[in-house]
Structure 1
Amino acid sequence: MLGLDERSSISSDTGFADIRTALAHLKAGRDAEAVRMLTSITRQEQLPAHYWMELGMCLRRKGSLHAALGCYQAAAEAGIEQDALFMTRMANIHADLDHLNRAISFSSKALQKANNGTIRANHAKILRAHKEFQQAYDMFSTLVEEEPGNKDYHWEKAFTRMYLGLDRSAWKGFQVRFDVDKIPSPPAADYLPRWQGEPLAGKRLLLTHEQGFGDTILMLRYVHILKEMGATVILECQPELNRLVEGLPLDGIVKRGTQRDIQADYYCPLMSLPAFLWQDDSPPPPPARLTVPEGAKKDSRKLFLFPEDHKLNVGIVWSGSKTFADNRRRSVDVDRFLDLAILHNDCRFFSLQKGPGTQDLYRTGGQFLIRDAGPGLRDFADTAALIERLDIIVMTDSSVAHLAGSLGKPVLNLLNYNPYWLYFPDGPETLWYPSMFLLRQDSPGNWDGVFQNASNILSHLARTKSTLGRRISAAQVEQSLQTYMSALEKGEPPIVSRTDITADMTRMDPQQVSRKVTPTSCLESVSWDFFPV
């Protein structure tokens, strides 16, 4: 922000009135108008350093990260004071762009200039993004000791602790999220005490959801334990999950906003259950046994017609919820999956994508290579019914990964460099879902190796299915992973890259190219009338 003297000197120059107006448009969300004005202004004016800085901050908030970095660099060239605040902003924009080494370098310079709590906390966040979890945790612990009244420091310490290993202590610390207002308390908190591990025999417990669909599915595994403790268990459930959870041993399912009609002794947020039920000497309980309704199965057979061939049926998802703060890092462009569809004529791809991301498929013309199942999936029960009929799910992390894992369906979960703490420590497997296998970025933002691995695994599975003529089990997926890793150790080349695909196609005659990329090569005899009119 501008200092007082700087504001006064700039405001006295009427030549910058349009700049101030443009920035006001940008801050108010009127992006098109702001861009129009600023484009005209920057062609004619030499902007002062602090205006470049203001513009960069606005662009960063809007998610225009490369443009924001360019503005920061322009501010430096225009002579802005390169103090701790400037170094911190440079560190943050580089962290946003997954330039983590540069981010740490700028953040370290900021620490040298001003070693205060705000700068140190920001440095600790960047260390955490770089997977330097212990160092980040130690810094936050020190900050908590120095400023025990700072809620943000308590939250960051608890959040970082989850990356160091999930045990009872970590889950207990995670309870602080409600005390520091990081997660809104459910309506039930207004009239019920929160369960803190008290005996449940003869008691009524209301379980409340607090985050996304995936976290709800993840924590349903504890319902049977609560029943064994003698509790009457009532679940506050997102409507999209209602049909899927009806087969669980629940005593009631309610919508948020209707809890006041429920007689209960306690409420408990689902993500708080491990704080009292986790056993440090045992793995987490197995996933909840979800029951797919017969009606959903019948609808799936009617809507999604599978030809009698030996192609591998693959479900895909490329983006999680757009409202998730870090969705940009965990998601990919649909083109990544279109490359797989072009490469693998022995596979049939089904998009399980829902929400705004679905439009990506049509924007690229990908609906001719990947079947959009989304319009036929009204809720998670419909999605589960289709997943049961597929051979494997290949996707970036989102709620469908939890659904597939709970159904015991083999799923390749494609993870960014520093994913959800649930998937640590690093490795190809997770104790939470035995049928889930993890393919991880080896450097921030680099998806190439992840998709090379996924492509090789699909090749092996497609050959296996063609030989066996049946679906692929989780054990066979694991064997494919082991086979691929063994091939890498022997120095065998990885699957071709996107550039290699293009080069390969230019060497093919037109008939071969047509066979490789036309819709019929991927869909064969499946009717184009995918959904009933």
Structure 2
Amino acid sequence: MSGAQPGKQVVPLAEALARLAALEQANKLVEADDLANRMLAAMPEHPHILHLAGIIAYRNGRIAQAVERMEKSEVLAPEAALYPRNMCEVYRGAGQLDDALRAGRRAIELAPRDARAYFNLALIHYERLELDEAVRIADQAIALEPDFAEAHFEKAEALLLGGRMKEGWESYEWRFKLKQAEGMLPKTGKPQWDGRPLAPGKLLIVGDQGFGDCIQFSRLIPWAALLCPQPVLACSGELTTILRQISGIGKIVTRWEDTGDYEAYIPLSGLPRLAGITTENVPPAGYLAPGPALVESWGARLDRLVPKGLRRVALVWAGRPTHKNDRKRTLKLEQFAPLFARDDLAILTVQKGEQIAQVGGYYGRAPLLNLGPEIVDFADTMAILRHVERLVTIDTSVAHIAGAIGVPTALVLPHAPDWRWLLGREDTPWYPSVRLFRQERAYDWSGVIERVSDSI
């Protein structure tokens, strides 16, 4: 290569591109960013460098830069099917769903046998709430690649969101073949439970997936216990305090080695399929309750801390950053300004995690009490919620806690929500005390919090 410095080894372009891709796939995003910028400085018009640099920018949260780089790569190499295929996902993250639809269709036009291109397009139809089309396109991906777990799971989510529960639960079984599901189930030769009776203590129920899922589906444990008395429940330690309230459980364990000699297992999220759950027969809420002593203790503390005469509203504004859809469900604290402008409310934050730091920048008429640092576990959260008039929250585990104990809740949802919240309704069969406030446009929260505030 002309211009190379004497004594410095020149790395072939193909090797540098492979290195860049490997760093991105290994989640070494700082190193990948540095290498991408150096490669762009040397070859700013190379389409594949631009494309990979765009992916890395996207994963680092610089969405506008990602779009700019990847659009340029597509202009430079308009016949490269990989580019619109990946652009489909980046446009989705940017909230540009019309552009995402165009890119997805272009990817299929260029590579009509690429199952991943159909899968990406199915995701876009889900985001646009075109659920029948999402199912149809997912089926095309599956026809090309029958064991494509992500396509089966996307089909499940579209079916369930549309209320087609029986079909949806069947496709939902593919979730354990997803890469991120590794380790969720025990490594065993024992069969998955098929719904037939077992002797006491011989069924293992696994608290799989997130905290919210476990709380939601735990209502079905008593049904399983009718067929298999005293089932063993394996779950995260953070859930043991509250799930031990569920009737019929034999014992709760937090390590695989303590599960004992079970004969069959079932993931907690697999119980709705076996029980034949539809939107019409969801077992009632009210299956959890905070401990009386803890309720009394928090009540006394809040009576001291909260100004007299103000209505108490609890608040959660952010979810777990590693959640696959956190970008579209999480808000900033400042976006709840319509609540903060009220002079009749006291805001009690029950937010956990790093996002608590946003409280430091709070300015509002309503007094704000940051309870997050004092909350030890879900038992504390439940007890606090007994002393508020309303919970206002994004779609996270606290919404499930509130719904399970019957606390009035305003749940703010993205335009294309998680499947469990269904479509076209303000209520939910899972939790009668929860009212749903949906985005009218994808990735646009304008008007949502105003409607919440007006409802209180």
Both structures adopt the same fold (TM-score exceeding 0.5): yes
**Structure 2 residue 156 is the aligned partner of structure 1 residue 126:** no
Deviation at 1:389, TM superposition (A): 0.5
Give the Cα separation in 2 of the matches to 1:22 and 1:171.
Answer: 39
- Work out the CA distance in 2 between the residues paired with 1:15 and 1:267: 51
Structure 1, unaligned stretches of length 5 or more? 1-10, 459-533
Alignment correspondent of 2:3: none
- Cα distance change of structure 1 residues 29 and 127 upon mapping to structure 2, 3 Å threshold: closer
Contact (CA 8 Å) 2:313, 2:346: kept in 1 or not? yes
Q: Which residue of 2 aligns with 1:92?
A: 89
Whole-Å separation in 1 of the counterparts to 2:189 and 2:212 = 27
Contact 1:60–1:68 (CA under 8 A) maintained in structure 2 = yes
Aligned to 2:214: 216
The aligned residue for residue 67 of structure 1 is 65
How many residue pairs align between the two structures?
A: 446
Cα distance between partner residues in 1 of 2:279 and 2:343: 46
What is the identity, as a one-letter code, of the residue corresponding to 1:71? R
How far is the alpha carbon of 1:309 from its aligned partner? 3.2
Structure 1 CA distance for aligned equivalents of residues 363 and 31 of structure 2: 30
1:113 alignment counterpart: 110
234-243 or 28-37, which deviates more:
28-37
Is the Cα contact below 8 Å between 2:234 and 2:259 reproduced in 1? no
Question: In structure 2, the residue corresponding to 1:50 is in which secondary structure?
Answer: helix
Paired residue for 2:334? Answer: 335
Partner secondary structure for residue 325 of structure 1:
coil
Cα 1:196–1:313 shift into 2, 3 Å: same
Q: Could you tell me how far 1:317 is from its partner in structure 2? A: 0.4
Change (3 A) 1:16 1:247: closer
Tell me: CA distance 1:48–1:363, structure 2 relative to 1, closer, same or farther (3 Å). Answer: farther
What is the one-letter code of the residue matched to 2:329? R
In structure 2, what is the Cα distance between the partners aligned to 1:271 and 1:156? 16
- Equivalent in the alignment of 1:317: 316
Q: Per-residue deviation at 1:32? A: 5.7
| Equivalence for 1:374 | 372
Partner SS, residue 412 of structure 1? strand
* Distance change in 2, residues 1:122/1:29 (3 Å): closer
C-alpha distance in 1, partners of 2:17/2:191?
53
Shift of the alpha carbon at 1:288? 4.8
Distance 1:311 1:34, change over 3 A: same
Larger radius of gyration: 1
**Is it true that 1:49 corresponds to 2:41 in the alignment?**
no
Pair 1:19–1:137, CA change in 2 (3 A):
closer
Give the conservation status (yes or no) of the 8 Å contact 1:220–1:288: no
Change (3 A) 1:98 1:187: closer
- Other-structure match for 2:193: 195
Matched, 1:299 2:297: yes
The CA distance in 2 between the partners of 1:159 and 1:381, in whole Å, is 30
The answer to whether the 8 Å contact 1:201/1:230 transfers is yes
Distance 2:415 2:424 in 1: 10
Q: Deviations over 1:409-466 (max 9, x none)?
A: 00000000111100113211101000000000011111012112112112xxxxxxxx
Whole-Å separation in 2 of the counterparts to 1:448 and 1:433: 26
Distance between the aligned counterparts of 1:300 and 1:327, measured in 2? Answer: 30
Please list every run of 5 or more consecutive structure 2 residues that lacks an aligned counterpart in the other structure.
1-8
Distance 2:410 2:352 in 1: 19
Kept after mapping to 2: 8 A contact 1:219/1:271 = yes
Name which of 266, 275, 278 aligns with 1:277.
275
Alignment match, 1:104: 101
The farther-off stretch of 118-127 and 172-181 is 172-181
- Deviation of the 1:95 alpha carbon: 1.2
Residue aligning to 2:354:
356
Q: Percent identity?
A: 24
Deviations 1:505-527 (A, max 9, x none): xxxxxxxxxxxxxxxxxxxxxxx
Distance 1:242 1:437 in 2: 27
On the 8 A contact 2:200/2:231 being kept in 1, the answer is no
The 1:187–1:152 alpha-carbon spacing in structure 2 relative to 1, beyond 3 Å, is closer
Task: Indicate conservation of the 8 Å contact 1:187/1:257, yes or no.
Answer: no
Q: Distance in 1 between matches of 2:59 and 2:276?
A: 38
Q: Does 1:206 align with 2:204?
A: yes
Distance 1:132 1:221 in 2: 31
Listed one character per residue, the Cα deviations across residues 11-42 of structure 1 (whole Å, up to 9, x for unaligned) are 97999999999888777666567667876886
Alignment of 1:449-468 (within 5 A): 449-458=447-456
Q: CA deviation at 1:157?
A: 3.0
Cα distance, 1:272 vs structure 2: 0.3
1:245, 1:291 within 8 Å by CA — same for their partners in 2? no
